[in-house]
A and B are shown apart, each in its own frame.
With several copies, the nearest count.
Chain A
Amino acid sequence: MVQKPVISGNKITIPSNLEYLTDVDNFIESTLQSYGTDESTIADIAISVSELVNNAIEHGSKSGTAKEVTVEINRQNDKVQIRVRDRGNGFDPEQLDDPLADENLLKEVGRGIFIVKSLMDSVDIQTSDKGTTITITKAIK
């Protein structure tokens, strides 16, 4: 298990602690810059990755045994694909509250996945009691 952020190639592994959010962000944003991605797209992807890493740490690793989170970034022609993985107990993506419902409007939480879905072109959620892997893609020029 890593004790601090470890980058190897296109992948960063962090101990499950919110203090490492900025390390993931630096890694993702600099990789996207090296692809020549425009600023607005970088922001959309960075926002989405931060949502998923927050969730992996706060909801995922909390319950699991392996307290680390990995984030992998790949370029495929004119799109970028990012995969965030934790080893928690998973969740049921069908059971999420609707953040647009009146009774949830003033809740401080519950908008993360909703925002990722609206900013990204595709969101794939694989989740079981052994962990969660969420893969997002977004077109870049």
Chain B
Amino acid sequence: MKLSDRQQNGVIILEPRGKIMGGPDATLLYDKLHEIIESGNKQVVIDLSKVDWMNSTGLGILISSYTTLRNNNGELKLANITDKIQSLLTITKLVTVFDSYDSVDDAVKAFK
């Protein structure tokens, strides 16, 4: 996994790319998220359009991002969920947990 981030209207957009399969992937996103929270930004969108696939480690990272932001009065939204990820979220019932949008723009607007 590679990870880039940018700002749009005060919202942080995280864009992981490639496969999220475990090992260093978790730490990478975790550290980035804490950097974000400590700098006072608490509205985060994870753009999943460039993720080839993820396994349960990837789901764990999404959950930990969700709970960490929530427990710091922040909020996480997902954008551009691919079919593969959608089916993982469905079978694990995690669709009921995440707020997801068809585009980054829609997700950012939803923070208003």
Residues of A within 8 A of B (CB): 18-19, 21-22, 25, 40, 43, 46-47, 50-51, 54, 58, 62, 99-100, 105-112, 114-115, 118
Contacts and interface: CB of A to CB of B under 8 A. Distances in A.
Contacts of B92: 99-100, 111, 114-115
A100 B93 CA distance: 7
Given A21-B23, A105-B97, A109-B60, A54 B55 contact: yes
The 10 closest A-B pairs by CB, nearest first: A18-B23, A108-B60, A111-B56, A50-B21, A43-B53, A112-B56, A108-B71, A50-B55, A54-B22, A47-B55
10 contacts: A46-B19, A47-B53, A47-B84, A47-B88, A100-B92, A107-B72, A107-B73, A109-B71, A114-B92, A115-B91
Instruction: Determine chain A's interface SS by DSSP, over half rule.
Output: helix
A101 to B, nearest CB: 9
Contacts of B24: 18-19
Interface residues of B, number: 30
Given A43-B84, A106-B97, A108-B64, A51 B56 contact: yes
B36 interface: no
